[in-house]
Structure 1
């Protein structure tokens, strides 16, 4: 009887191979053949799941996002009481920063995808969709803060969400370049949240 293949497990192994290559030497020069070799499968087997590098990067990013979401939920559920909007934002932003080796690898994959998206509409459309969803989530948390009297009522949640996204992306890039330590990076996030959640005007 032929061995049954767990397709989702195979896709996960391919994504993890991609991460290891990103950690070791970056992704720009990596080919599908390189990733197949790292995953211990043939190029033909890899192409059964991904026909292009963009498809593979998209899946890797989605997988990273799912794992990050699980970690964020775990952090929040471990806290006592009902999580405040500030707590939800803090834990989400912390997960987006390259504070350890796994998150640094994830950031490198995201940067590789971003570079490709600058020149190709297909990954760019995918990136825009993800960014819009994240901005809407941030805006919803800021709006909750306004309702609770924790954020000044004259602040626009959509604009504040865009500022949060710009902040975490900039701090992440500087941390990858070792211009900030992980502690300094998290301190900048804490400082901004302290100012944002300073109460009604």
Structure 2
């Protein structure tokens, strides 16, 4: 890992990426500022110039991780429409390679830390509200009865699937992930079957 370069914002982002790699590998509680500084080839004083504490660095790193997920999802949604637009987003988010598995493992680490932190829970709440709203926008054109509830269902399915697969010792093959996700998403957005009415004799 090279020393942070660029302007102030770029340096903060480089530090956050190093923190993300360390947290995804070792866990949030075990990682120290010294570990992150060593990975970057700098002193802890350099880090505290940009982040006054580990908590500040962790909060920024979490925000960056979520923003990358949302940006990746929005990019995947561009250029297509209908159900294929939703499938494109879901496919892009699946942990089919090392980079995506690391990204999801990072969010798992943050979920655990939020249990004892009101600030982290508030950040998580903001993240999930944005996530649900994004998926509601994706499913709204599909003619579902309740876009908000269906969007939430798809968002929770994708995140749950991605998190658990990312944590597996032997990840499922990419083709299996895509096929399974496609089938389940189509079930979630399928129009409800109206109840059968028995004719009155």
Bucket of the pairwise TM-score, normalised by the shorter protein: 0.7 to 0.9
Q: 136, 147, 150: which one pairs with 1:160?
A: 150
The answer (yes or no) to whether the contact 1:172–1:185 under 8 Å persists in 2 is no
Q: Which moved more, 1:178-187 or 1:167-176?
A: 178-187
Q: How many residues align?
A: 187
Q: Counterparts of 1:62 and 1:127 in 2: how far apart (Å)?
A: 9
d(CA) in 2 for partners of 1:156, 1:199: 10
Confirm whether residue 144 of structure 1 aligns to residue 141 of structure 2. yes
Give 1:78-93 correspondences, 5 Å limit: 79=79, 83-93=80-90
Equivalent-residue separation in structure 2 for 1:72 and 1:138 (angstroms): 10
| CA RMSD after TM alignment | 2.5
Q: CA deviation at 1:66?
A: 3.7
| Conserved 8 A contact 2:85-2:138 | yes
Deviations 1:69-114 (A, max 9, x none): 444454444x5xxx21423322332333221111111112111111
Instruction: Compute the TM-score of the two structures, normalised by the length of structure 1.
Output: 0.79
TM-score with structure 2 length normalisation?
0.79
Match of 1:117 among 101, 104, 114: 114
Which structure 2 segments of 5+ residues have no match?
194-201
The 3 A distance-change label for structure 1 pair 179 and 109 is: closer
Matched, 1:188 2:175: no
Which structure: larger Rg?
2
